Amino acid sequence: HVREAVRFADGVHTLHELGVTTFVEIGPGGVLTALTQGCLDDTVAVPALRGDRPEGQAVVSALAELYVRGASPDWGALVPGAHRIALPTYAFQRERYWLAGDEDPAAVGDPADAADSGFWDSVEREDAASLAATLGVSADASLSALLPRLSAWRRQRRERSVVDGWRYRVTWKPLGALPRPGAAGPWLLVVARESEWTASVRAALTDHGPAPVTLVAGPGTDRRALTRELAGIGPVSGVLSLLAEDETAAAGHPGLPYGLAATLCLTQALGDAGIDAPLWCATRGAVATGRSDRLDRPLQSQVWGFGRAAALEHPQRWGGLIDLPDLLDARAATRLAAVLGQRAEDQVAVRASGVYGRRLVRATRAAHPAREWSPRGTVLITGGTGALGGHVARWLAGAGAEQLVLTGRRGLDAPGAAALAAELEESGVRVTV
């Protein structure tokens, strides 16, 4: 600069002509980098150091920028002794949230199907010429007349197998050894009234841990009273409700078992009282784990229905549902304690033959075709004024029902109900909402 012109631009252009496309400025800042960028349009110019950051960081950043812009730094010089490893760098901790063995039956090709696929392709495309060639016959009018029927049949079968793939049923899987119940704090046992049964459950808990605290929530108990009582109870490690056992009608509600109403109250009151200990609801004979296992107490099954909704709405304070045998012998008592001591299974049946967990499995299609249902006379549709109810009602009207009774809380005031009734009547069916 002092003695003669540096001719920086000429220097950069010469380098560029010689094939240099990447420039690294070795110096205390980025002045020359900026000048270089000013001389050339398409070039990579990176300063090794920056006035505003520590040297180490600036050099590594420069290397990184060079790397992402196509240069190949010698990483070995930067991190001696390092070597490449294959991705991923950790084992994925995968957790499945869908059903096992859940292959889409419509997508799984049968080898025999593969062989036939050319034939069915021609059918589906209604391509008479190619079908005739496949069959070795002439493409005459009779073949063309048959084709649309064949392709409709094919389409129907395909649709049916897709729909069949959506069918599931419940099954009960024997559970392996459950962990031995460990020592924990006392449980809260909630009963509608004391009985031999509640005593045997209390004894089972006492045999495998501290004696439980018992709360009697008999008829007349309400949410607020229950909340007050719960607030007075010290910390518990879990809540076991035997309320479902009481199948007598709730006061003023002849169709509602007290046990179910009280289970709802208890669930609400536990929330009100801020008790987060897991709630387990016990039933007896409310589920059938197989053909030879009798479902003796369908009224208690309602607690299972309620429990599955509660489990979804309050997962953080839900324990599970447990169906117990009529007699709680020593083995069943140990199993009860083991079930209460774990959190992996939340729908469990204890039987003489072991402990069973509820599972959803694919329902295989019955070998014989389903019988069509032809509605006759009057058909009652509960929730008939709703979205699905409307579809069902239209279908029934077209399928032969003479009268439809649609129910809902609001009756004709439900949105669209009046229009639906008018439309159905127009089609010739009598409608009562």
Ligand X SMILES: NC(=O)c1ccc[n+]([C@@H]2O[C@H](COP(=O)([O-])OP(=O)(O)OC[C@H]3O[C@@H](n4cnc5c(N)ncnc54)[C@H](OP(=O)(O)O)[C@@H]3O)[C@@H](O)[C@H]2O)c1
Dihedral Cα 299, 301, 306, 312, nearest 10 deg: 180
CA gap 431, 142 in Å, rounded: 47
Question: Nearest approach, Cβ of 307 to ligand X (angstroms)?
Answer: 17
Tokens of 239: 């809540």
Alpha-carbon distance of 210 to 186, in angstroms, equals 5
Distance CA 293, CA 295 (A): 7
User: Is the Cβ of residue 186 or residue 384 nearer to ligand X in the bound state?
Assistant: 384
Q: Is 121 or 413 the residue whose CB approaches ligand X more closely?
A: 413
Q: Are 126 and 147 in contact (CB under 8 A)?
A: yes
Structure tokens at 293: 């296992």
**Residue 18 phi/psi, 5° resolution?**
-80, 0
Give me the least distance between CB of 406 and ligand X, in Å please. Answer: 7
The distance of closest approach from Cβ of residue 138 to ligand X in the complex, given in angstroms and rounded to an integer, is 49
Of 355 and 397, CB closest to ligand X = 397
Task: Output the smallest distance, CB 235 to ligand X, in A.
Answer: 37
Distance CA 352, CA 174 (A): 12
* Closest distance of CB 286 from ligand X, Å: 22
Least Cα distance to 60 among 71, 75, 45 occurs for 75
Binding site for ligand X (CB under 6 A): 383-389, 408-410, 414
Cα gap 161→165, rounded to integer Å: 6
Tell me how far apart the alpha carbons of residues 386 and 433 are, in angstroms, rounded to a whole number: 12
Q: Which residue is nearest to ligand X (CB)?
A: 386
Which residue, 20 or 170, has its beta carbon nearer to ligand X? Answer: 170
- Closer to ligand X by CB, 341 or 384: give it: 384
Nearer to ligand X, 354 or 408 (CB): 408
C-alpha 25/C-alpha 32 separation (Å) is: 7
Instruction: Provide the minimum distance between the beta carbon of 311 and ligand X in the complex, in angstroms, as a whole number.
Output: 17
d(CA 80, CA 377): 87
For residue 61, count other CB atoms closer than 10 A to its CB.
16
Minimum distance from CB of 416 to ligand X (Å)?
A: 9
Please state the closest distance from residue 389 (CB atom) to ligand X, in A.
Answer: 5
Residue whose CB is less far from ligand X, 45 or 421 = 421
Query: CA of 92: how far to CAs of 95, 97, 248, 344, in Å?
Result: 9, 15, 52, 21
129 or 309: CB nearest ligand X: 309
**Residue nearer to ligand X on the CB measure, 388 or 399:** 388
Closest distance of CB 166 from ligand X, Å = 11
Q: In what order do the strands lie in the sheet with 430-432?
A: 378-382, 403-407, 430-432
Handedness of CA 53, 58, 61, 65 (dihedral sign): positive
